[in-house]
């Protein structure tokens, strides 16, 4: 297949769904005793609801929505630090748009902007670099946020700033990595996970081998998937076939985009610019070992934590989630978004209480946008 429409062909989708039903029957999965498949990536969560795959697939499959939305897992204390940075008079704070509405303790970046902070939305860290070149008397801070998908572009912008000797450009680094939270979830005795649909964009950078431990140490299958409905259906089928056959392997359904060994240029840029933090906080999941990146000392001149004295040590402030917010339970599959008492009431995309309602990749936003809001209404 070559064109997007071919990956949305209803006849082909029906054929894969029939095969999925067959394998579900062979496994003996039912609505009462389902197979639990976690889609790690928020983009996959969005696609599952957008195309109604949760309703088309048999009741014997339960999708667990994973922690793969970087905006959703950003801890509230880091949002507060963003706001504090952005409110400094010398700072131009630059960020991707999806971080603007994430609630902090006091306010979001959007509210800080409304109150006069110089916050500018950019499409790339290269835009932030250009703002720095044009404003030599101001400090331009780029909010580095995201998984391995966006980590390389931030690294390349830091390398470029170093080459140019830019003295007014820094990055507030909040980049995180996908494999450690999967390990944390697999180590959680309360989690029931039978297999994974692996992230497509992240894997385009890191390849498929960083997931080998999932098969080798935990005996669970993972299939890296694309984002079209047929990609997802085929990936679910591949996971189910592994479960049926008693196999646990890392497979690549998205090979038209994901090289098994990843992108060597991106991997080299990441290794040059960043090092692992011993631990990093994930909203709803707590501290996870070796799950965050910080900027190496070689590039300390471009590290906003160094320039503005923002630490990330053991003594840092941990901020509790707002009362009634169940983001952690949703993110670990213990609760569906519609079961949160705030869903569609105290928490909507217009006025989010929790981060899962902010980004389009958040599970709560996906439920709300594609019919979950109706599911929350009491039955007549």
What are the structure tokens assigned to 35, written together? Answer: 């197979």
Looking only at the bridges linking them, the beta strands covering 286-289 and 279-282 are antiparallel
Q: How far is the CB of 5 from ligand SF4 (least distance, A)?
A: 33
Nearer to ligand SF4, 259 or 349 (CB): 349
Name the residue among 145, 126, 156, 129 with its Cα closest to residue 269.
156
Between residues 226 and 337, which has the closer beta carbon with respect to ligand SF4? Answer: 337
Q: How near is the Cβ of 344 to ligand SF4 at its closest, in Å? A: 7
Residue 71 interacts with ligand SF4 (CB under 6 A): yes or no: no
Q: How far is the CB of 332 from ligand SF4 (least distance, A)?
A: 11
**Among 85, 238, 269, 356, which residue interacts with ligand SF4 (rule: CB under 6 A)?**
356
Min dist CB 65 to ligand SF4, Å, is: 11
Q: Is 285 in the site for ligand SF4 (CB under 6 A)?
A: no
Q: Is 69 in the site for ligand SF4 (CB under 6 A)?
A: no
C-alpha 40/C-alpha 30 separation (Å) is 23
Is residue 79 at the binding interface for ligand SF4, with CB under 6 A as the rule?
A: no
Angle at 376 between CA 370 and CA 380, to 5 degrees: 115
- Computed from CA positions of residues 253, 255, 261, 267, in that sequence, does the dihedral angle turn out positive or negative? negative
The C-alpha atoms of residue 282 and residue 40 are separated, in whole angstroms, by 15
Binding status of residue 342 toward ligand SF4 by CB under 6 A:
yes
Q: Is 104 in the site for ligand SF4 (CB under 6 A)?
A: no
From 47-55, 153-161, 215-223, 320-328, give the range in contact with ligand SF4 by CB under 6 A: 320-328
Q: Segment contacting ligand SF4 (CB under 6 A): 45-53, 272-280, 304-312, 325-333?
A: 325-333
Instruction: Pick one of 139, 154, 343, 361: the residue that binds ligand SF4 (CB under 6 A).
Output: 343
Burial category of 350 from C-beta neighbours within 10 Å (exposed 0-12, middle 13-18, buried 19 and up): exposed
Distance spanning both ends of the chain, measured CA to CA: 45
* CB of 341 vs ligand SF4, minimal distance in Å: 7
> Does position 340 bind ligand SF4 by CB under 6 A?
yes
Q: Please say whether the dihedral angle defined by the alpha carbons of residues 75, 364, 148 and 156, taken in this order, is positive or negative.
A: negative
Cα–Cα distance measured from residue 293 to residue 200, given in angstroms and rounded to the nearest whole number: 20
Strand 274-276 with 293-295, pairing: antiparallel
**Chain contacts with ligand SF4 (rule: CB under 6 A):** 325-327, 330, 337, 340, 342-343, 347, 353-354, 356-357, 364
């Amino acid at each position: 297949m070559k064109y997007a429409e071919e990956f949305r062909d209803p006849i082909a989708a029906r054929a894969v769904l029939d095969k999925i039903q067959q394998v579900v029957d062979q496994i003996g999965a039912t609505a009462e005793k389902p197979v639990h498949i976690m889609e790690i990536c928020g983009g996959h969560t969005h696609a599952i609801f957008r195309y109604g795959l949760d309703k088309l697939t048999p009741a014997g499959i339960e999708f667990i929505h994973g922690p793969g939305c970087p905006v959703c897992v950003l801890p509230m204390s880091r949002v507060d630090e963003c706001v504090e940075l952005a409110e400094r008079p010398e700072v131009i704070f630059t960020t991707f748009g999806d971080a603007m509405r994430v609630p902090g303790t006091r306010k979001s970046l959007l509210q800080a902007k409304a109150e006069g902070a110089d916050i500018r939305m950019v499409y790339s860290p290269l835009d932030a670099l250009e703002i720095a070149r044009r404003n030599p008397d101001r400090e331009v801070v780029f909010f580095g946020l995201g998984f391995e998908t966006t980590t390389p572009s931030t690294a390349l912008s830091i390398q470029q700033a170093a080459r140019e000797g830019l003295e007014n450009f820094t990055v507030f680094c909040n980049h995180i990595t996908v494999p450690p939270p999967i390990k944390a979830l697999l180590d959680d005795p309360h989690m029931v996970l039978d297999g994974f649909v692996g992230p497509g964009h992240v894997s385009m950078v890191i390849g498929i081998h960083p997931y080998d431990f999932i098969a080798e140490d935990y005996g669970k299958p993972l299939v890296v998937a694309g984002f079209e409905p047929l990609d997802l259906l085929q990936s679910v089928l591949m996971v189910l076939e592994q479960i049926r056959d008693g196999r646990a392997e890392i497979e690549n359904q998205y090979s038209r985009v994901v090289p098994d060994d990843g992108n060597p240029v991106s991997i080299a840029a990441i290794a040059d610019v960043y090092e692992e933090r011993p631990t990093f906080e994930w909203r709803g999941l707590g501290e996870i070992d070796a799950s965050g990146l910080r900027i190496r000392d070689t590039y300390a001149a471009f590290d906003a934590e160094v320039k503005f004295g923002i630490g990330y040590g053991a003594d840092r402030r941990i901020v509790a989630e707002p009362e009634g917010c169940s983001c952690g339970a949703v993110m670990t599959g213990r609760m569906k978004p519609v079961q949160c008492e705030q869903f569609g009431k105290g928490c909507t995309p217009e006025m989010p209480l929790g981060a899962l309602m902010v980004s389009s990749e958040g599970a709560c936003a996906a439920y709300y946008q594609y019919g979950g809001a109706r599911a929350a209404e009491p039955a007549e």
